[in-house]
Amino acid sequence: MTDGRARPDPPMAMDFEGAGDGRTNALALLLLSMADDEFVIGFSDSEWTGIGPILEEDVAISSIAQDELGHARALYTLLSELVADGRDADAIAYDRPPEGYLHARLLDHPRGDWAATIVRRYLYDTADAARLDALVDSSYRPLAELVAKIRREERYHLMHMETWLDRLATSPGEPRERLLAALADMAPDAGTVLAPLPGEQALVRHGIIGEPFEAIEARWRKGVGRTFQRLGLPDLAATRDPGRARADHGDAFRALHAEFTMVRRSEVGATW
């Protein structure tokens, strides 16, 4: 897979400062945050493989999880080409300490029960779709081209999650109660996916992203609001502590990180 040179002291995520001008730094942060989002939710949802509620859904959720790992891989590759510091996609994906990951706090919530998985995915997929919408015409062509491909796969993810959200919300008793509990738990973190990034003014100025995250978030809230209203679900809460939307990953993420780096760490520098 990679020549995987040993890195006794894995670099931190934010060390792209100094990689270039403001535009490059901001772009690197954008790519890394998107890649880490996809990577973390992809890995976390893949935990359903083999234990899905029915065989068909096991295959479906596993394949969606795999799609996300594929998107993460493509984004890490773009990043490694942009930053060109000698790290390849695998090194960026696996060789950072837990605090070096830039995923949104929403994805720090563990897989939980089926309702929690559906809520986390629904909130993430809708927010991600709004973010991708703002990147289709990106002036950074490699990103615009990748986003066009990713959006075609995300369309089905969204359809599938909307179907499940609908089913749980309209099934009285335990399904709806579990859905409401998961929503109450995660709603204040949902907006973290679209919290402003450092240096995003540079991204907007250079046409890398079509509009600031504040506008993207407003658009996303409107869409989710309509669905929630139809299903009689409570309005989405405002984002809790948006300034630290992609920091302070807790114990659940540490456990996840220990697991997804386990094989890579077992033989540092190995060629796979």
Partner 1 sequence: MGPRRDPRGAAGGGVTESQPADRAADVKGSDGRTLEPWEVFRQEKDGDPMRHGGSVMAPDATLALHYAREMYSRRQESVHLWVVRRADIHDLADLDLLQPPLDRSFKKPGGYVMRDKLAAAREQSGQAKPKANAGER
Q: Which residues bind partner 1 (CB under 8 A)?
A: 54-57, 59-60, 63, 156, 159-160, 163, 167, 171
160 or 246: CB nearest partner 1:
160
Residue 67 CB, shortest distance to partner 1, in Å, is 9
Contacts of 174 (CB under 8 A, 6+ apart): none
- C-beta of residue 6 within 8 angstroms of C-beta of residue 91: no
Residue 55 CB, shortest distance to partner 1, in Å, is 7
Residue 50 CB, shortest distance to partner 1, in Å, is 15
Query: Which two tokens mark 229?
Result: 């209203």
53 or 234: CB nearest partner 1:
53
200/182 Cα distance (integer angstroms): 31
59 or 238: CB nearest partner 1:
59
**Helix 114-133 × helix 22-45 angle, to 10°:** 150
Residue 163 CB, shortest distance to partner 1, in Å, is 5
62/123 Cα distance (integer angstroms): 18
- Which region holds residue 173: left if phi is over 0, alpha if psi is between -120 and 50, else beta? left
Radius of gyration of the chain (CA): 18
Element (H, E) at 230: helix 213-230
57 or 185: CB nearest partner 1:
57
60 or 215: CB nearest partner 1:
60
18 or 50: CB nearest partner 1:
50
Residue 116 CB, shortest distance to partner 1, in Å, is 20
Residue 164 CB, shortest distance to partner 1, in Å, is 9
Listed residue (84, 43, 94, 75) closest to 142, CA to CA: 75
CA 59 vs CA 23, 64, 154: distances in Å:
41, 9, 17
